[in-house]
């Protein structure tokens, strides 16, 4: 929603901040005579700032599509759509900082449900397409209710998740409004077919409406 000029300004600020941070760590590494710190800081900062550059670019190129403000899907490939919850980029720009931890959690889940509904309605004619998601926010019970089954998380995906741990930690902390260290063991991969999600469309719609009303009522009281 921001102009190209505003986008570039934000990205420049983020890039300069990351560069300055790593320069400080580099100077510290020179003083103590060990460069492990600068290596770690480079990996961590790259993981944290990457979404602020990758997500807007991939969206612009049509490789990512938003089905709600916190629900993103990759372009269909070989009959499969990989979905993602909002990235750190989305959490920073979308979530109202005034919301409590519980309100933020409810808001995120509601946006997930809204995304599922929009995905179903958009792809309803192609019911054989497979849907895949890897997340720590969806537990087994909820996933089953939505029509998903647990599948094995491949080795490369596990490596990517571990590399992005700092990113996930910040996202989780923003979501709960406190420092939150997500357990890697809680991150699971879920798969389904669109026709299974379609069967549960009314259930998802009712759950989405109920949660949205809860959020509106809570915010109105505040």
The per-residue pLDDT for 208 is 93
Cβ–Cβ < 8 Å for 114, 66? no
Residues of the chain with pLDDT under 50: none
Q: In what order do the strands lie in the sheet with 80-85?
A: 64-68, 71-74, 80-85, 130-135, 188-193, 149-151
The per-residue pLDDT for 221 is 58
Cβ–Cβ < 8 Å for 214, 100? no
φ, ψ of residue 132 in degrees (nearest 5): -130, 140
Domain boundaries along the sequence of the chain: 1-61, 63-221
What whole-number distance in Å separates Cα of residue 143 and Cα of residue 136? 11
What whole-number distance in Å separates Cα of residue 60 and Cα of residue 172? 26
The per-residue pLDDT for 151 is 84
**Token pair for residue 70?**
């916190």
The per-residue pLDDT for 21 is 95
What whole-number distance in Å separates Cα of residue 185 and Cα of residue 219? 33
């Amino acid at each position: 929603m921001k102009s190209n000029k505003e986008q570039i300004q934000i990205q420049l600020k983020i890039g300069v901040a990351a560069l300055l941070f790593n320069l400080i760590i580099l100077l510290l590494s020179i003083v103590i005579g060990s460069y492990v710190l600068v290596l770690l800081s480079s990996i961590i900062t790259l993981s944290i700032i990457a979404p602020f550059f990758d997500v807007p670019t991939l969206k612009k190129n049509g490789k990512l599509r938003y089905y709600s403000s916190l629900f993103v899907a990759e372009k269909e490939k070989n009959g499969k759509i990989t979905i993602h919850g909002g990235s750190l980029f989305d959490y920073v720009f979308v979530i109202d900082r005034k919301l409590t931890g519980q309100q933020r959690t409810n808001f995120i889940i509601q946006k997930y449900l809204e995304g599922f509904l929009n995905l179903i309605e958009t792809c309803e004619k192609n019911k054989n397409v497979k849907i895949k998601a890897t997340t720590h926010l969806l537990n087994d019970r909820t996933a089953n209710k939505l029509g998903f089954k647990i599948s094995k998380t491949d080795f490369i995906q596990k490596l990517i998740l571990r590399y992005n741990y700092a990113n996930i930690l910040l996202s989780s902390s923003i979501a709960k409004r406190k420092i939150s260290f997500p357990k890697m063991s809680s991150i699971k991969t879920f798969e389904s077919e669109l026709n299974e999600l379609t069967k549960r469309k009314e259930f998802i719609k009712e759950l989405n409406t109920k949660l949205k009303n809860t959020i509106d009522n809570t915010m109105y009281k505040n």
